[in-house]
Structure 1
Amino acid sequence: MKPLDMMVADYNAEYLGISRLCLMENAGKSLAQEISYINTSGKVIIFTGSGGNGGDGFVAARHLLNMGFKVKIILLTTPSQIKSKDSLQNWKVLENMGPYLSDLEIEICTDSSQINFESLGDYEDILVDAILGTGIKGLIKEPVRSAIELINSSNSITVSVDIPSGLNPLNGDISDIAVDADYTVTFHRPKSGLEKASKENIGKLIVCDIGIPREAELFLGAGDLLRIKTRDIGAHKGANGNLLIVGGSKEYAGAPALAGLAALAAGADMVTIVCPETASIPIKSYSPDLIVKGLPGDFINPEMVETILNLSANADSILIGCGMGREELSCEALNKLVQKLIGSEKPIVMDADALKLVEKDLVKNYGDLIITPHRGEFKLFFGEKSSVMLFDLQEEISAFQSISQQIKGTVLLKGKLDMIFKGKEFRMNKTGSPGMTVGGTGDCLAGLVSALRSQGHSSWDCACLGAFINGRAGELAEKKFGYNFTASKMIEFYSEAMKHDF
C-alpha cells in the first residue's frame, strides 16, 4: 500500500465517522500489545517525532504503563512543534500524567548533544522508533540523525512504528540513514516500501488491524482530495492544464459550453472548444474565458479532422462527444479522429454521443481512455442486449466490472451510486443530489474529469475524483437552492467541493 493511499484511507475513515484520534488510539494500543508479546515486562524507551508516528508512540506509552512496563518518552522536538492535532492531544495527556507516575519519564531533546547513551539510563530492554514513519523528506536532520545512530548502536531490541525511520515508505530505499529494526509494527496494510526493503532493515514485519473499514477504501471520500496536485507557484500560463473539447452541433451548443466552464472551475488554465460554426456564437456567449474555434458546418464532419488534430498538438487532454449529435458524417469523423489521437498517445475522455458513435474495437486496447456513460450509454457502448442484474448490488457490480474489462481504459458509470472500473480496480461514489437529474450535469462531470487529466492526474484518479467532486458540488448546490438548481449553478460550487479541512 502506497503511503498516500494509507493517508487517504485514514481520512476516508473519518469521513465515514471514525475519528483519526480513534484510529491513533487503536494503533498505539496495538503497538503496546505487540511489545508486550516481545517482552512481558521491563523498560521501554520510545523515541518520538512531531508527526502522527509520534502520536502512536504517545498512546503506546499509556498502554504499556497499564501493562506494568516502565516507560521513557524522548521527544525529539519541542511540544509546540508537534504537527498533528491528534498527536498533540495525546502528548498533553502524557504531560498531565507525568508528574504523578514514577514509571513514566519524559525527556525533551532538541539538540544532538542531548542524544547519548546516558540519556538511555537504565532503560535497555526495548527501544521504540516512533520518529519519522512515512513522513521522511530528504536528508535526516539533527537531533533525529543522532537518535537513529544511538538506536542502531544499542544492543536493545528495536521496534519501529509503521516503517523504520529513514526508510523511504514508497520504494524502501535509504538515501541517508535509517533505523535497523528487529521488529516493524505497521498498521492496516504493509506500506509499499516495506515490501521492497531489506529484511535487515525491517526485521520481523507485524501488521495490525486498527479498525479502518473496507468501505474507507471502496467508497470515495474527502480523503481522496489529498490526491489533487498542488500548483507550482512559479508555473506559467497553461502549465495547469490545456484542454481541447470537440463537440457541439447546430442543435446542441450548451453541452460543450458547460463542459468547458466546468473544466475552468476545476482549475484548467486553458480550455479550447472546437465546434461547428453554427454553434460557436452561442458557446462564446457563455463566457469570454472559453476559447472557441468554429469550423464550417452544422455538425462535426470529416473535413474538420485535420484542423482538430492540429489544435490537439498542444492539448494535454481531449474531451470528445458533448453535444456532438449522431449524424453519419459525425460518426465517420469521430472514428478517424480517435484513431489519430490514439496514434499520438493523447489522453482521451469520451462522453455522450461519442459513446454511441465510436467503434469499440478501435479503443478497447487504449489504456489512456476514460469513458463516462450512464447505464443506457454503457449498454450501447458495450453492445449489451440483455439487462444487467438489478436485484443484488454485489451481482450487479460483478456484472458491470466483467463487462468493463472488455476495454483497457477507465469506465466511470454514472448513476445514483457511481461505479468506477479499470481492470480489477473498483471504487464507488455516493455523493450527489436528486437535483442533479437536471440536464447538463453529465457534461459538467466530463469537463471536470478532462480538466483533471490535463493537469497530470492518472486516468484512474481523474475518474474517481471527478465523480466525488461533481457529486459533492451537487450536494452543496442542494443546500443553497434545494433541488431546483441548474448545471451552471452547480459548477459554482466546484472550488468548495475540492477543498479539504486537513
Structure 2
Amino acid sequence: MITAARMAAVDENAEYLGVPRKQLMESSGNAIARRVREMASPGANVAIVAGRGNNGGDAFVAARFLDEYDVSVLLLGRAETIGTDIARENWDALQQADYDTTEVTDSRAFELPDCDLVIDAMLGTGVTGALREPAATAARAINDADASVLAVDVPSGLNADSGESEGTAVEADAVVTFHDMKPGLADVASDVTVSDIGIPAAAERIVGPGDLRSVQGNVGGRVFVIGGGPFTGAPALAGQSALRAGADLSFVAAPDSVASVIQGYAEDLIVQPYDGDILTPEQVDDLVDTAESYDDTVVIGPGLGNADETLDAATDFLESYTGRAVVDADALPAIPDLDTKATLVCTPNRKELAEMGGPDTDDLTEVTDEIEDLAADIGHVVLAKGKTDVVSDGERTRVVRTGNTGMTVGGTGDLLAGIVAGLFGTTEAFDAACVGSFVNGRAGDLCYDDGRYEGLLASDMLETIPAAMWGADDV
C-alpha cells in the first residue's frame, strides 16, 4: 500500500526520472476507460463529474477513449481555474474536439444528467476534510442517482489514508486506483482495481525531488553538535550546514582549548566550551542535560578524535540520551554494542560501515540487503555514504544518486551530518536521512554546475545548500 503523501512524492520522482506527469495522466485516463468498458456496454450514457485538479484531468483523458459511449463532462468550477497545466490542456482538447462539456459554477445549478454510469473524478488522494460546494452537492446527487458509480483513485470525500469521511462521501460501486493500493480503500464496499500507469519502480526506490518537497516548509529547531578537540573544521561545518538546511539555532560543544578556533569559523555558531582538550566521560552529564533540556537534535562525532576515553564518553552520552541524534565519524564505533533509547541516524563511510558489521564494498548499490539487515540489527537508521548513498531503517531502503566525485574531498560528510540534523528536528529519522543525503549531493552538484569541480571545497557547498534545499524546481 502507499499513502497519499508518498504517492505524491513518487509521482514527482517519476518525472525526475524522465516520465512526465502528462504521460502518467494519459495512462490513468486509459485505465479509467478500460474499467468503464467492464462496467457498461457500448452506447451507454456516461456522466463524468470532474474537479479542477489532476483527478479531473485523468477523467478528461478518459472521455477521449470512450467514443463508443454517450459521454458528458461536468466540470465543477470555471475552466480558467483548473489547477494544473496538464489538466487544463486535456480540458481544452475536449473543447476543441466538440465533446459535451459543461462548467458548473454554482452548486444550485448542478444537475446530474440521466446516465447509466457516473465517473466520480472530483477529488483525488491528496484532498482531505469535508467536501465543499459544489462537490458536496454533486456527491449527494451521485449517491441518489440510479446509476453505477466509478470513482477515480479514491471516492471523493473519503480520506485515502484512513478510509474515513467527514460528512458526505461518494458511495462508489467500483474504484480504479493507480500504481498501488491506498490504505483507505482496504475496507470500502467497492470493487477496487489497481492499475499500473507506468511509474517505474525506481521512482519509489530512489530519493528524489518528491521526497524533498514533502519536507520543505517543515524545518526549524535547535542543533547541538558535540565535536572537536583534535580537529576543529568538522564540527564547524556540521553546525553551519544545519543552519543552511533550516535549523533555527546551531550550538557546538567543544573543548575550551579549541572553542575559540571553532567560533572563528562562523559568527552564526554558538560555541559552548567545556574543560579539557578532548571529550571525556566527565563532561557527559552536562551535555546530556543541555541536549535534553532544549529538545536539541544532536550531532556527535565530527572531529572528536579516536582516544579511548573519547569513545567511552560518546558511548556514555548515547546510552544516557533519549532524544534524536546523528552519529558520525569518531562516534560510530560506539554503535554496534550500544544500548540506548535515543533515535539515531548513523552516517558511516565505506570503511566505517564495515567496522560496524556491515558489508565492505565500493558499490553500495550491490549490498542494499546487507545494509538493511545491519539497520534492522542495530535498530537505527543507517545512511551509508558512497558513490551512491544507501539509506535504510531495517524495513525500507532507498538509494540517493545525487553527488559527484569532487565530493570525495574532506568535510562533505560533516556537511551531511549537519543537514540531516537540521531536518531531523521536524522530520522522521528515515526521511531526514533520505532528504539530507539528497540535498547534500545536490549541493555538490550545484557547485559542479558552477564550474567548481576541480578543487571543490566542502565550505563551497555551504553556499549551495539553501538552493539545493528549496530550489526543488531546479533539481
Q: TM-score, normalised by structure 1?
A: 0.90
Alignment of 1:470 with 2:440, yes or no, is: yes
CA-to-aligned-CA distance 1:85-122 (integer Å, 9 cap, x gap): 11111111111112xxxxx3111111111113xx40xx
Aligned twin of 1:191 = 182
CA contact (8 A) 2:176 2:193 kept: yes
Q: SS at 2:250's partner residue?
A: strand
Q: Report 1:83-162 matches (<5 A).
A: 83-98=83-98, 104-116=99-111, 119-120=112-113, 123-162=114-153
Aligned twin of 1:254 = 233
CA-to-aligned-CA distance 1:125-180 (integer Å, 9 cap, x gap): 11000001224233321111110000000010100000000001121111111000
1:54 to partner: Cα distance: 0.3
Q: Report 1:270-289 matches (<5 A).
A: 270-289=249-268
1:224 to partner: Cα distance: 1.0
CA-to-aligned-CA distance 1:338-391 (integer Å, 9 cap, x gap): 1110xxx201110000012x152224x757111000110011122x6xx64669
Aligned twin of 1:220 = 207
Over 3 Å counting, the alpha-carbon distance change for 1:225 and 1:143 in structure 2 is: same
Alignment of 1:362 with 2:342, yes or no, is: no
Give the distance between the partners of 2:273 and 2:6, measured in 1 at CA: 43
Aligned twin of 1:63 = 65
Structure 1 unmatched runs, 5+: 99-103, 232-238
Q: What amino acid maps onto 2:73 in structure 1? A: I
1:433 to partner: Cα distance: 1.1
Alignment of 1:5 with 2:2, yes or no, is: no
CA contact (8 A) 1:255 1:322 kept: yes
Q: Report 1:167-246 matches (<5 A).
A: 167-195=158-186, 197-199=187-189, 203-231=190-218, 240-246=220-226
Identity of aligned residues (%): 37
Give the distance between the partners of 1:471 and 1:274, measured in 2 at CA: 27
Q: SS at 2:66's partner residue?
A: helix
Alignment of 1:349 with 2:319, yes or no, is: no
Give the distance between the partners of 1:47 and 1:21, measured in 2 at CA: 20
Give the distance between the partners of 2:29 and 2:258, measured in 1 at CA: 61
Alignment of 1:340 with 2:320, yes or no, is: yes
CA contact (8 A) 2:326 2:421 kept: yes
Aligned twin of 2:275 = 296
Aligned twin of 2:472 = 500
CA contact (8 A) 1:316 1:453 kept: no
1:335 to partner: Cα distance: 1.5
Aligned twin of 2:374 = 403
Give the distance between the partners of 2:378 and 2:289, measured in 1 at CA: 27
- Runs (4 or more) in structure 1 with deviation over 3 Å come to 387-394
Q: What amino acid maps onto 2:298 in structure 1? A: I
